[in-house]
């Protein structure tokens, strides 16, 4: 439910309402506006009736939240969330966030070269995989802790926040130590124990949409993370599995405006995993920006034909640079900033 406080409600009134709600087992989420404060309360409504709350000092009204995803819902927070991910970069504001880098970290020399290149082209967040969940147990699985150290070094060198995936609850603490943003991949979107664990770590979480997940299932996955006190969740549309085989997945461009209507969480697009081939990345990236995405995640590799993972969908640095220049024009046209 949402408790709307009166314009005249004092800080003491607000604190008292929060205290009573918490005493009854509710999780509270205060949002302080210019004129009034609203308090989101998540818990068992049978323990404390709406009439009881209305009797509290400073309370103006109580409104139920109808969506099953309470904390992620636009009903709770009308304004879009803007998430600070470090190094002066924010996701969800007017400026677009561009995550760029190789699918897999292969060496310090390789990753540093790509990091310097994508930064020069205008990317503001480094991405790369140290732990690689693969369809085949015989495929390259990543450099693990060594990869994290390589990525961390390049992030410091370029003064860029880094985003990398965690695949096991046992590795959350380690990944949080080296990264600024922790990614939950499509295969783990409904790994609820992992979602709860990253919800406790305090780092921004990039939550990719599951292979065949509905919008509600996706937002409920975000709710798992937020229920542990971590409200810094970034959604990532990366294509869903359909009957179509021309591309790796089917990019759901409608997910961008739909998520903006349903949730206050920022959303970025991953055209690399959506298409599975570098030839289509640019077109889908442009469409995502035009549709209102708050950013992009694009795979870039200096030698895709020799990449340890996902080479066919990776852009070479020069193609990424050209794409960024084209995207800048689209960003300006829709009232956003890129370069």
- Name the residue range of residue 310's domain: 83-333
The number of domains in the chain is 2
CATH of the domain at 25: 3.30.70.1140
Each residue of 190-230: pLDDT tens digit? 999 999 999 999 999 999 999 999 999 999 999 999 999 89
Looking at the fold, whether 9 and 141 belong to one and the same domain comes out as no
The β-bridge partners of 184 are 207
| pLDDT for the residue 140 | 67
Taken as a whole, the chain contains a residue count of: 339
Each residue of 91-134: pLDDT tens digit? 999 999 999 999 999 999 999 999 999 999 999 999 999 987 66
| pLDDT for the residue 134 | 66
The β-bridge partners of 295 are 97
Q: Is the dihedral of CA 280, 283, 288, 291 positive or negative?
A: negative
Distance of CA 165 to the CA centre of its chain: 12
Looking at the fold, whether 167 and 197 belong to one and the same domain comes out as yes
Indicate the pTM of the whole model.
0.92
**Distance (Å, rounded) from C-alpha 234 to C-alpha 180?**
13
**Distance (Å, rounded) from C-alpha 203 to C-alpha 174?**
12
Where is the domain boundary, 63, 96, 114? 63
**Distance (Å, rounded) from C-alpha 97 to C-alpha 118?**
13
Mean pLDDT of 263-283: 98
| pLDDT for the residue 143 | 87
Q: Are 239 and 251 in contact (CB under 8 A)?
A: yes
Looking at the fold, whether 252 and 315 belong to one and the same domain comes out as yes
**Distance (Å, rounded) from C-alpha 281 to C-alpha 271?**
5
First to last CA, the chain: 41
What percent of the chain shows pLDDT beyond 90?
86
**Distance (Å, rounded) from C-alpha 326 to C-alpha 324?**
5
Find where tokens 């002066």 sit. Answer: 88
Mean pLDDT of 283-305: 97
Split at pLDDT 50, 70, 90, the class of 233 is very high
Looking at the fold, whether 178 and 306 belong to one and the same domain comes out as yes
Split at pLDDT 50, 70, 90, the class of 330 is very high
Q: Are 172 and 198 in contact (CB under 8 A)?
A: yes
Q: Which two tokens stand for residue 55?
A: 């009797």
**Distance (Å, rounded) from C-alpha 219 to C-alpha 223?**
6
Residue 18 domain-assigned (yes or no): yes
Looking at the fold, whether 49 and 101 belong to one and the same domain comes out as no
Q: Which of 98, 217, 103, 106 is nearest to 161 (CA)?
A: 98
Split at pLDDT 50, 70, 90, the class of 138 is low
Split at pLDDT 50, 70, 90, the class of 34 is confident
Split at pLDDT 50, 70, 90, the class of 308 is confident
At how many degrees (to 10) do helices 192-199 and 215-226 cross? 40
Each residue of 150-170: pLDDT tens digit? 999 999 999 999 999 999 999
Q: Which of 45, 31, 33 is nearest to 73 (CA)?
A: 31
Looking at the fold, whether 90 and 11 belong to one and the same domain comes out as no
Helix (H, G, I), strand (E, B) or coil at 74: coil
SS3 content of the chain, % helix, strand, coil (to 5): 40, 20, 40
Distance of CA 112 to the CA centre of its chain: 24
Looking at the fold, whether 52 and 195 belong to one and the same domain comes out as no
Each residue of 75-94: pLDDT tens digit? 999 899 999 999 999 999 99
Looking at the fold, whether 142 and 289 belong to one and the same domain comes out as yes
Residue 69 domain-assigned (yes or no): no
Looking at the fold, whether 230 and 132 belong to one and the same domain comes out as yes
Helix (H, G, I), strand (E, B) or coil at 16: helix
Looking at the fold, whether 171 and 242 belong to one and the same domain comes out as yes
CATH of the domain at 296: 3.20.20.70
| pLDDT for the residue 49 | 84
Residue 59 domain-assigned (yes or no): yes
Q: Are 224 and 210 in contact (CB under 8 A)?
A: no
Residue 206 domain-assigned (yes or no): yes
Looking at the fold, whether 54 and 93 belong to one and the same domain comes out as no
- What mean pLDDT is reported for the chain? 94
Residue 146 domain-assigned (yes or no): yes
**Distance (Å, rounded) from C-alpha 339 to C-alpha 335?**
13
Mean pLDDT of 3-30: 93
Listed in order, strand segments (DSSP E) in 169-312 are 181-184, 205-208, 233-237, 267-269, 295-299
Each residue of 41-53: pLDDT tens digit? 998 888 888 889 9
Q: Which two tokens stand for residue 142?
A: 């990543």
Looking at the fold, whether 232 and 118 belong to one and the same domain comes out as yes
């Amino acid at each position: 439910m949402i408790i709307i406080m009166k314009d005249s409600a004092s800080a003491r009134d607000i604190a008292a309402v929060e205290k009573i709600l918490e005493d009854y087992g509710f999780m509270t989420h205060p949002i302080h506006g210019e004129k009034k404060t609203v308090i989101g309360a998540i818990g068992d409504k049978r323990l404390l009736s709406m009439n009881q709350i209305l009797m509290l000092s400073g309370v103006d009204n109580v409104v139920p939240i109808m969506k099953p995803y309470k904390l992620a819902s636009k009903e709770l927070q009308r304004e879009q969330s803007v998430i600070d991910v470090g190094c002066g970069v924010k996701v969800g504001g007017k400026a677009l966030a561009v995550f760029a880098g190789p699918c897999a970290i292969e060496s310090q020399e390789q990753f540093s070269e790509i990091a310097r290149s994508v930064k020069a082209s205008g990317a503001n967040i480094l991405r790369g995989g140290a732990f690689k969940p693969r369809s085949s147990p015989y495929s390259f699985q990543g450099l693990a802790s060594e990869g994290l150290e390589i990525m961390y070094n390049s992030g410091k060198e370029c003064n860029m926040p880094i985003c990398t995936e965690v695949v096991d609850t046992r590795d959350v603490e380690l990944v949080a130590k080296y990264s600024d943003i922790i990614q939950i991949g499509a295969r783990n979107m409904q790994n609820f124990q992992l979602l709860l664990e990253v919800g406790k770590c305090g780092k921004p979480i990039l939550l990719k949409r599951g292979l065949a997940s509905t919008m509600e299932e996706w937002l409920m996955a975000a709710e798992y993370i937020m229920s542990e006190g971590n409200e810094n969740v970034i959604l990532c549309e990366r294509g869903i599995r359909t009957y179509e085989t021309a591309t790796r997945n089917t990019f759901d461009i409608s997910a961008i405006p739909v998520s903006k209507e349903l949730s206050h969480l920022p959303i970025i697009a991953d055209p690399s995993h959506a298409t599975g081939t570098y030839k289509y990345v640019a077109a889908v990236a442009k469409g995502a920006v035009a549709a209102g995405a708050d950013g992009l995640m694009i795979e870039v590799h200096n030698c895709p034909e020799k990449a340890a993972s996902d080479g066919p969908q990776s852009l070479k640095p020069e193609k990424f640079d050209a794409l960024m220049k084209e995207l800048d024009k689209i960003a300006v046209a829709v009232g956003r900033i890129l370069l």
